[in-house]
Amino acid sequence: MNTIPGDFDPIPSTRYRPSVGIGTLKQAMAEADALAVPVSAGAEPAEELGTDAAGLASAGFTAQRGQTLVRPTADGPVRVAVGTGTPDQVDTTLVRDLAAEFARAVPWHRRLAIEIPSRDVGISVSDYAQAATEGVLLARWRYFVGRDADRPLLESLLVVASDEQADEVAAGVQRGRVIAEAYCLGRDLSNCPASTLSAVRMAEVALEVGPPAGLEVEVFDKDQLIELGCGGLLGVNRGSVEPPRMIRLRYQPEQPTGRIALIGKGIMYDSGGISLKPSDESHAQMKNDMTGAAAVLASMTALRALGCTAAVTGYLMCTDNMPSGSALKLGDVLRMRNGTTVEVLNTDAEGRLVMADALALATEEPVDAIVDIATLTGACLRTFGVEIAGVMGNDRGVVEQLRRAGDAVDEPVWELPLHRSYRSQLDSPIADLTNMGGVNAGSITAALFLEEFVDGRPWAHVDIAGTAQLPQPRTWRNKGATGSGTKLLIEFALAFNRPASLP
How far is 47 from 35, CA to CA, in rounded Å?
A: 13
Question: For 364, which DSSP code?
Answer: T
C-alpha distances out from residue 15 to 99, 166, 185, 403, 479, Å: 22, 28, 11, 33, 20
> Which neighbouring-strand residues pair with 250?
216, 313
Candidates 104, 110, 222, 277; catalytic one:
277
DSSP 400-431: HHHHHHHHHHT--EEE----GGGGGGG--SSS
How far is 238 from 115, CA to CA, in rounded Å?
A: 55
> Which positions ≥6 away from 20 have C-beta within 8 Å?
133, 137, 156, 157, 159, 173, 177
How far is 189 from 202, CA to CA, in rounded Å?
A: 8
How far is 48 from 428, CA to CA, in rounded Å?
A: 70
Candidates 352, 403, 457, 487; catalytic one:
352
C-alpha distances out from residue 426 to 272, 423, 502, Å: 20, 6, 29
> Which positions ≥6 away from 91 have C-beta within 8 Å?
122, 123
Q: How far apart are the first and last CA of the chain?
A: 47
How far is 193 from 292, CA to CA, in rounded Å?
A: 16
- Told to judge if 287 belongs to the known catalytic residues of this protein, a careful annotator would answer no
Sheet holding 216-220, edge to edge: 216-220, 245-251, 311-321, 259-270, 369-374, 459-463, 389-393, 413-415
How many residues in the chain?
Answer: 503
How far is 59 from 172, CA to CA, in rounded Å?
A: 33
How far is 29 from 19, CA to CA, in rounded Å?
A: 17
How far is 480 from 281, CA to CA, in rounded Å?
A: 12
C-beta separation of 231 from 269 below 8 A? no
**Strand 369-374 to 459-463 pairing:** parallel
- Told to judge if 352 belongs to the known catalytic residues of this protein, a careful annotator would answer yes
Please list the active-site residues.
277, 352
